[in-house]
Structure 1
């Protein structure tokens, strides 16, 4: 039986699956893992997890489906991340994660000035600098860890690291490169040599490919480690949100893709590179597919935190939240439990719950978390529209779609219809589609056709309107106090046995099911 293998390395777990060339999923497996928080604002991961889980899950799939003949491999992973390796490909330090890691916040203004100001950066890169920008994370390592930097030869992200281990090729897909701001020109689809040398001196930059391009073939050594056939093609891969977008056919201007998971990611394809204040301009998985994207620092992570705090189960808490009704019986939450990425770009933002009384239940609080994420989506939509980017519909994927409450709330808050595809597994499914495309012609509309469309309820939209306006006002009203609290938290965070702060939101699960169900 000819199949393809799709894998995704997520914030909280790694997922892999085998699929036929018609999109039918034959088997899927997963492993949970954790991130490290050595200090407040620092979020890292031991990169050895990535290859260990890839080899383990691949062998498990092949044992489950002994007649499987894997024809190609597709990979994706969290990003933009930075893993520094030496000339032999050995990691020099833990990988620095995407925008949830805020170590570069104090560098942004200086680096912006060094490169000629925000306008100069936007003209070439499409986006201003933020803690999401992987290029500044490289600059941080060069300036703050000179001993490590002296031995650094290359950098990879989770997907490109797996590609390198499978094929021996040092490559990066254009989309991931477009999130290494300010090192990549979104108009020229190329590295900016002078800025690469200024921020990442001496580092060899990877060869650029599009996500669905063949990066190389599985080597004999990789075949021995994984059980895969030697010589089969491997895609260049990409960041998980874009692979997940591929899985639902998101490459239509005006259609916003929503990734329901530990964090929430949003992608809107555009006809040309468009700079939107507070958001990220990137290129897509294929040539001629520019996009504007945004991301929340937490979403499903908050619901998982609350579920664990009250020792509840998903089904019961979703039922309680549904019974709470629109407006959560007078509760309003800001979902900035790990700072926030777009559109406010505030690493010192924090979660706020307003309106609490002794009458409120755990269902009310659970409902408030779902509504908070929906308000955040609408905030991003409004910023996009103010910049002239059309958003007329939504399409979702990820574990949060397993229950319909969360996407229904998002639809009602935004007033936008939302398509739910037949398969909502996520990024590993999109990676499998890209792998299948290496071997034969496949069409995503038949690979993963729509299942249903959630239409907005005009009455619910009107009921949410006052809450959304209060949501926008609550952040501004509490910002100065919250920033002071964030500073105190940095000084007084309780230390765990490893010397780092205890607790932390990541990893977490989506609101509609455990994270193991979502890539």
Structure 2
């Protein structure tokens, strides 16, 4: 596509758990070009989930920036600003040269820090931790991951100059500067005070790390720096291009679909399932997450499942060989959807617990395990596939109820992420939760959010109105009352299963790790 020479453009790139994506938009938020790529995750031990920061983060950014500039025809000097978002929050130590000292430890899908959470709760007190950071320590918390690193890899820890997250590392490769936005810092509990919007000296001393190990926190739209000569050579971007601080992928997705007013929420159908809500005032919901928004003056409440789309990928790879071979233009998921749509709600008596990597909120249990309950000889592969879609739907409902029980408004809900393309899955989730979902067809998601944040930071945009005006809701998925009534009964079974099976799950987890 040929560019208009007097036009300004914005580049957004998102680095996710299973892949990365990018977009170039113009000053009216029109998409010029988009692209994506995939990468793996590293699982060196059960419960450990890591990324190679150079091979999986920086290499993706180089590939996407090069492709987007080449395909768009946009001159690099016409890129007015760059916004990065990424999975949050990872823990990556770097040395004085800014080079990673080990693979990044990922967010709550990595569950190695049970002992460190117990140590910090004993050392500081769980109540005091909650008073400061507004969150309980869980596997989502970065503070225990830093303590694990210090305790288990002391020689590397002594060489550490900074602890970065994924967004911060990419920004450092682009600009040479270390930054972190307030939204991501909100996941570094117990180290960060979301009310003061700063690191907490008491908590830093209690964890036992140097104060200068953590970068200065800023708002996502502030200028972190400018593209260096070496980064320009690697990516094709123009040296000196402004780069904003950026933010996490899920919260960038909130921005991308205009979910920026009090009670605006997203159901994120990604590798993991996430529910995020924008708030005008700080709230600290018990058992969920709370932290500052990427936009100054706003806050967020959220919760996340450890797996959702990851279970579908597992199912496809392990059991849908025939569908992968016979796709003929359709994806294996589309073929499975077509067959699963013929099965009644409830999958003829099946309930799946989607705890295939333990579970984050609301139960916060790394030893939880996935189950499929109710199997008979009459059930087919398609029944199990539909039960998987439903299991994630029950997980969304569990989070929705937990939020509302804590007084968090969940009003307008927009469905985002690759899995939201599935009309069947959206239907199932709306029927289970009783919530209407707004779907923006072909949503660009986090990269668009990052690009828009760059536009705010470089004064291409004055406010959020151009974003709101650019968004068209293509479909509204309404719950079917009859299906919702049936799912109410299945949901009761879903909620009963975990307490009944918890001890057995924990024993199996222990046996499986021997």
TM-score (norm 1): 0.92
Aligned in 2, Cα 1:325/1:23: closer, same or farther, shift over 3 Å? farther
Tell whether 2:150 aligns with 1:131.
Answer: no
The 10-residue stretch of structure 1 (344-353 or 49-58) with the greater mean CA deviation from structure 2: 49-58
Tell whether 2:365 aligns with 1:346.
Answer: yes
Counterparts of 2:83 and 2:312, CA distance in 1 = 30
Give the secondary-structure state (helix, strand or coil) at the position aligned to 1:74: strand
In the alignment, what sits opposite 2:189?
A: 181
In the alignment, what sits opposite 2:447?
A: 428
Counterparts of 2:503 and 2:239, CA distance in 1 = 58
1:478 aligns with one of 477, 493, 501? 501
Q: Measure how far apart 1:399 and its partner are.
A: 0.7
Counterparts of 1:422 and 1:370, CA distance in 2 = 20
Counterparts of 2:491 and 2:381, CA distance in 1 = 21
Counterparts of 2:412 and 2:490, CA distance in 1 = 22
Alignment of 1:104-183 (within 5 A): 104-115=113-124, 117-183=125-191
Counterparts of 2:162 and 2:117, CA distance in 1 = 23
Alignment of 1:225-264 (within 5 A): 225-264=234-273
Aligned residues of 2:254 and 2:265 also touching (Cα < 8 A): no
Q: Measure how far apart 1:78 and its partner are.
A: 0.7
Q: Measure how far apart 1:107 and its partner are.
A: 2.0
Q: List 4+ stretches of structure 1 deviating above 4 A.
A: none
Give the secondary-structure state (helix, strand or coil) at the position aligned to 2:513: helix
CA offsets, 1:139-172, max 9 Å, x none?
1111221111110110111111111111111110
Alignment of 1:398-409 (within 5 A): 398-409=417-428
Counterparts of 1:137 and 1:27, CA distance in 2 = 37
In the alignment, what sits opposite 2:229?
A: 220
Counterparts of 1:410 and 1:214, CA distance in 2 = 39
Counterparts of 1:23 and 1:233, CA distance in 2 = 18
Counterparts of 2:68 and 2:180, CA distance in 1 = 26
In the alignment, what sits opposite 2:17?
A: 11
In the alignment, what sits opposite 2:327?
A: none
Q: Measure how far apart 1:67 and its partner are.
A: 3.5
Tell whether 2:477 aligns with 1:451.
Answer: no
Aligned residues of 1:392 and 1:416 also touching (Cα < 8 A): no
Q: Measure how far apart 1:262 and its partner are.
A: 0.7
Q: Measure how far apart 1:220 and its partner are.
A: 2.1
Aligned in 2, Cα 1:200/1:28: closer, same or farther, shift over 3 Å? farther
Counterparts of 1:271 and 1:55, CA distance in 2 = 36
In the alignment, what sits opposite 1:55?
A: 62
Number of equivalent positions:
490
Give the secondary-structure state (helix, strand or coil) at the position aligned to 1:472: helix
1:358 aligns with one of 377, 380, 385? 377
The 10-residue stretch of structure 1 (385-394 or 50-59) with the greater mean CA deviation from structure 2: 385-394
Tell whether 2:301 aligns with 1:292.
Answer: yes
In the alignment, what sits opposite 2:26?
A: 20
Tell whether 2:390 aligns with 1:371.
Answer: yes
- CA RMSD for the aligned pairs? 1.4
CA offsets, 1:392-422, max 9 Å, x none?
3311211112121111211111111111124
Higher relative contact order (CA 8 A, sep 6+): 1
In the alignment, what sits opposite 2:328?
A: none
The 10-residue stretch of structure 1 (84-93 or 429-438) with the greater mean CA deviation from structure 2: 429-438
Counterparts of 2:435 and 2:35, CA distance in 1 = 33
Counterparts of 2:274 and 2:221, CA distance in 1 = 21
In the alignment, what sits opposite 2:329?
A: none
1:209 aligns with one of 210, 213, 218? 218
1:85 aligns with one of 91, 94, 101? 94
Tell whether 2:202 aligns with 1:194.
Answer: yes
Counterparts of 1:35 and 1:273, CA distance in 2 = 34
CA offsets, 1:244-298, max 9 Å, x none?
1110122222232111111111112233222222111111011221121100000
Counterparts of 1:420 and 1:252, CA distance in 2 = 17
Tell whether 2:106 aligns with 1:97.
Answer: yes
TM-score (norm 2): 0.93
Q: Measure how far apart 1:200 and its partner are.
A: 4.8
Aligned residues of 1:130 and 1:345 also touching (Cα < 8 A): yes
1:416 aligns with one of 435, 438, 454? 435
Counterparts of 2:369 and 2:483, CA distance in 1 = 27
Counterparts of 2:37 and 2:164, CA distance in 1 = 22
CA offsets, 1:157-206, max 9 Å, x none?
11111111111111100000010000100111111023223325224221
Counterparts of 1:191 and 1:423, CA distance in 2 = 38
Aligned residues of 2:164 and 2:214 also touching (Cα < 8 A): no
1:467 aligns with one of 490, 493, 512? 490
Counterparts of 1:264 and 1:70, CA distance in 2 = 33
CA offsets, 1:416-438, max 9 Å, x none?
11111244222112111212222
Give the secondary-structure state (helix, strand or coil) at the position aligned to 1:323: coil
